Structures are given as C-alpha cells and as structure tokens.
C-alpha cells in the first residue's frame, strides 16, 4: 500500500521512533509498539457523522499531519505503508470479530508480514484487547505474555486462525482469520458498514484507546478506563470534561460536525 504523501521520516517523527530501519522482527516489533503508543485507536469522525476515508493520502494527512488516530483500516493501513517503504513482504487479511453475541461478517483488517523466514500477525487496530506485539503464526496453542496481557493463537479449522485473549480472568475469542490475501479495495464495504450501521459499536459509542508501556487508556462513551499492569480503574467523564480528556490523555481534538 502506498500514498504519495507518505515518508518514513514523517512517520517516524509522528510515532517518536528513532532507531534502526532493519527488516528483522525485533525492529518491526519496536516500530509497531511506537505506533501503538503514539497513535490512538479512535472513532471521532464516525461519531461526528462522517464515513471514514480509505484514500491512502487522506489517511496520511489525518494521522501524520493532523496528528489524529483512526480505526483498523486507518492505523493498519498506515503501518502497511511503513512496511512497504521498508521492503517487508506483507498482505492484508480479513478477520471476523468474535466478541459479539451473534456471528459477524469479516469486517476487521489485520496484516500478515514475513520476517526472519516466519509469518507474523501484526494488528494495531483492534482497540481494547488488541495485541501489543506481533504473533508468530506457527506458534499455536501457546500462552504468549505481552506486557501484562495474555494472548494465544489457535486454529479453528485447518485453514483458519483464532486469536484469544484473557479478558477479566477468562480466555475470550477475539477474531478469526485466514491467510487469503485481501486487496485494499476489498475493505470498502466493511468500512462503510462500520462507519454507518447503527448496530456497530463505532456508531453507537465514542471509543478511544491509547496503549502505553504499562497498559492502556480507554474512553468508551462517558467512562474512562485506565489499565495499569493488569489493574483497571474507571471514572465517569462528563460532557463538559470530554474535550479536556481527549486532549490531555489521548492528544486529540474533536472534529467539527
């Protein structure tokens, strides 16, 4: 994936990355974490009644120039641009969210990249319970601790992978995916659904997530959840204080309606 206005220099400046540009998994892991800790997962535009643009240049302008965040297509799309510039082989894959009470279509985007002769799952856009480091696809049914979070990759059948996470002390399915490569345009219908359908969480509620080295900050509706080393605290955020919290905790300014 490419955008005419994307450069590694601008990208690294935005995510505060100042290290190597090798293609090994250690470098890619560090870049992934720098983006996770700098670019929020957020649906402010959807809450303002807008359909998310999948034009690559507009994603770059939004996240790098206006210092906004985005949801899965935007933040994973941005990371894919960096992989492209670094020369890292990768494809998009469509994932089916499994954390709903009913079966959902494959509306989530993930990245499968190759490094060190292995295939890895990269995902910077699953929000609250998203992975914090790449997951090796051939390491199955093994508990993987990432900071204070616990994940596992399994297979749901011979062609599909299932990502699980420990949520409130129980293993919970997060999403299912296969390795069939998707093109960028394949996500246009899913993006329209997530941007407009009244049943999606992105339309129903404000959702902002910013990871940090000890956990994450999550603003969902009028509740701010702080997860620090596995311990969660909550506080109510009034409408009057929302703009302050968005700016001070997430570095965001609400878009104009």
Contacts by 216-220 with C-beta closer than 8 Å and gap 24+? Answer: 216/128, 217/249, 217/250, 218/127, 218/128, 219/245, 219/246, 219/249, 219/250, 220/128
Q: pTM higher than 0.85, yes or no?
A: yes
Closest to 132 (Cα-Cα) out of 174, 83, 96: 174
Read off the pLDDT band of 1 (50, 70, 90). confident
Angstrom distance (rounded) from CA 160 to CA 212: 30
Residue 253 token pair: 């300014």
Q: What is the DSSP string of 129-197?
A: G--SS-EETT--S--EEETTEEEEEEEEETTEEEEEEEETTEEEEEEEE----B-GGGGHHHHHHHHH-
The pLDDT assigned to 162 comes to 97
What digits encode the pLDDT tens for the residues 222-254? 999 999 998 999 999 999 999 999 999 999 988
Show the domains of the chain with their CATH numbers.
8-250 (3.30.2140.20)
CA-to-CA dists, residue 166 to 56, 114, 209, 221, 239, angstroms:
34, 26, 18, 23, 32
Read off the pLDDT band of 257 (50, 70, 90). low
What digits encode the pLDDT tens for the residues 110-142? 999 999 999 999 999 998 899 999 999 999 999
């Amino acid at each position: 994936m490419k955008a005419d206005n994307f450069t590694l220099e601008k990208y690294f400046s935005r995510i505060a990355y100042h290290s190597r540009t090798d293609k090994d998994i250690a470098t890619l892991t560090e870049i992934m974490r720098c983006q996770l800790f700098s670019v929020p997962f957020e649906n402010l535009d959807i809450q303002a009644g807008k359909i998310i643009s999948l034009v690559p240049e507009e994603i770059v302008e939004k996240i790098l120039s206006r210092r906004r965040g985005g949801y899965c297509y935007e933040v994973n799309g941005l990371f894919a641009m960096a992989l492209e510039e670094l020369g890292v082989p990768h494809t998009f894959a469509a994932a089916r969210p499994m954390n709903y009470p009913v079966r959902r279509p494959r509306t989530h985007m993930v990245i499968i990249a190759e490094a060190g002769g292995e295939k890895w799952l990269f995902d910077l856009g699953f929000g609250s319970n998203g992975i914090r480091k790449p997951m090796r696809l051939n390491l199955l049914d093994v508990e993987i601790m990432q900071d204070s979070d616990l994940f596992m990759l399994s297979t749901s059948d011979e062609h599909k992978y299932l990502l699980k996470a420990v949520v409130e002390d129980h293993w919970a399915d997060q999403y299912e995916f296969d390795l069939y490569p998707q093109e960028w345009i394949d996500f246009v219908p899913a993006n329209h659904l997530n941007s407009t359908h009244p049943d999606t969480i992105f339309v129903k509620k404000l959702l902002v997530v910013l990871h940090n080295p000890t956990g994450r900050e999550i603003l969902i509706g009028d509740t701010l959840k702080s997860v620090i080393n596995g311990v969660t605290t909550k506080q109510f955020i009034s409408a009057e204080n929302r703009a302050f919290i968005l700016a001070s905790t997430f570095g965001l300014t609400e878009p104009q309606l």
